[in-house]
């Protein structure tokens, strides 16, 4: 798996005040850590980093992080964002050690045309990611799950998926990935409140009243 280059600058000052100044200057505060090294504070150029995130799936991408000329492979472990804006507040990197496996979450992509859907069924995708342990240089961008043979009333589970060699799935083997349910029957529309009570006036009553009025007029003339 190829790495993606990313430049950063080291920094000595830390704290909320420093972080605010960095953001105001168009930079994102961050840190790189790992069990084989001391955590090091750094900063990233905001615009360049945001453009990079639009091009790569950062959760499964190994970055060749260059901090003032010192290079190391790293994963992004957390991107902290503003509660209601899209602004990136902080980035955490984990330095990778050669030969040491890491735990990551990888997207599930369902492929194939389910035979249950062809019969009118509906596929419900319950799981959208796998938690896996794998060599950092062999992290897949996704894991495909074939639902071609998924019939109505059937389910697929974690144990049903064959993953590439070298990948260990950490999710419960009995966990349900997806199901195919029968289509729901449409219920007849119920009358709205008040519809049943509303009834047209009876025309015969009006007619009767008119006749009585005509009879009264005739008696008066007589």
- Return per-residue pLDDT of the chain as tens, 222 residues: 568 999 999 999 889 999 999 999 999 999 999 877 789 999 999 999 999 999 999 999 999 999 999 999 999 999 999 998 889 999 999 999 888 899 999 999 999 999 999 999 999 999 999 999 999 989 999 999 999 999 999 999 999 999 999 999 999 999 999 999 998 776 656 666 665 555 555 554 444 444 455 554 544 444
Residues 155 and 130: their CA atoms lie apart, in Å, by 17
Among 96, 125, 147, the domain-final residue is 96
The enclosing domain of 162 has a CATH number of 2.170.120.20
**Cβ distance 150 to 180 under 8 Å?**
yes
- Are 73 and 113 part of one and the same domain? no
Q: If we measure between CA atoms, which residue out of 99, 91, 103, 105 comes closest to residue 36?
A: 99
Q: What is the DSSP letter of 127?
A: -
Q: If we measure between CA atoms, which residue out of 55, 75, 172, 180 comes closest to residue 117?
A: 180
- Are 81 and 21 part of one and the same domain? yes
Query: In the β-sheet with 168-169, what is the strand arrangement from edge to edge?
Result: 143-146, 102-111, 129-134, 168-169
CA atoms within 13 A on the CB side of 89: 9
The owner of tokens 């992290």 is 139
Q: Does residue 220 lie within any of the structural domains?
A: no
- Are 83 and 121 part of one and the same domain? no
For the chain, the 3-state helix, strand and coil shares in percent, each to the nearest 5, are 25, 40, 40
Q: Does residue 214 lie within any of the structural domains?
A: no
In terms of residue numbers, what domain contains 169? 103-181
- Are 91 and 15 part of one and the same domain? yes
Q: In the structure encoding, which two tokens stand for residue 35, read together?
A: 């069990």
Q: Does residue 51 lie within any of the structural domains?
A: yes
Number of domains in the chain: 2
Q: What is the pLDDT of residue 32?
A: 95
Among 79, 96, 113, the domain-final residue is 96
């Amino acid at each position: 798996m190829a790495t993606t280059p990313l430049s950063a600058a080291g920094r000595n000052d830390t704290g909320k005040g420093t972080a605010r100044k960095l953001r105001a200057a168009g930079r994102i505060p961050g840190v790189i850590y790992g069990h084989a090294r001391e955590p090091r504070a750094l900063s990233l150029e905001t615009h360049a980093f945001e453009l990079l995130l639009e091009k790569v799936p950062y959760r499964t991408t190994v970055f060749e992080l260059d901090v003032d000329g010192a290079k190391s492979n790293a994963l992004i472990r957390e991107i902290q964002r503003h509660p209601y804006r899209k602004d990136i507040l902080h980035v955490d990197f984990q330095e990778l050690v050669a030969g040491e496996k890491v735990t990551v979450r990888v997207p599930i992509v369902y492929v194939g045309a389910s035979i249950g859907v062809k019969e009118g069924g509906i596929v419900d995708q319950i799981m959208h990611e796998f938690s896996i342990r794998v060599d950092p240089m062999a992290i897949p961008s996704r894991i495909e799950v074939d639902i071609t043979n998924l019939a109505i009333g059937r389910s697929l589970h974690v144990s049903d998926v064959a993953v590439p060699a070298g990948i260990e799935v950490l999710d419960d083997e009995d966990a349900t990935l997806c199901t195919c349910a029968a289509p729901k029957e449409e219920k007849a529309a119920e009358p709205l409140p008040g519809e049943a009570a509303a009834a047209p006036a009876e025309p015969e009553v009006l007619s009767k009243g008119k006749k009585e009025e005509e009879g009264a007029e005739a008696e008066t003339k007589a």
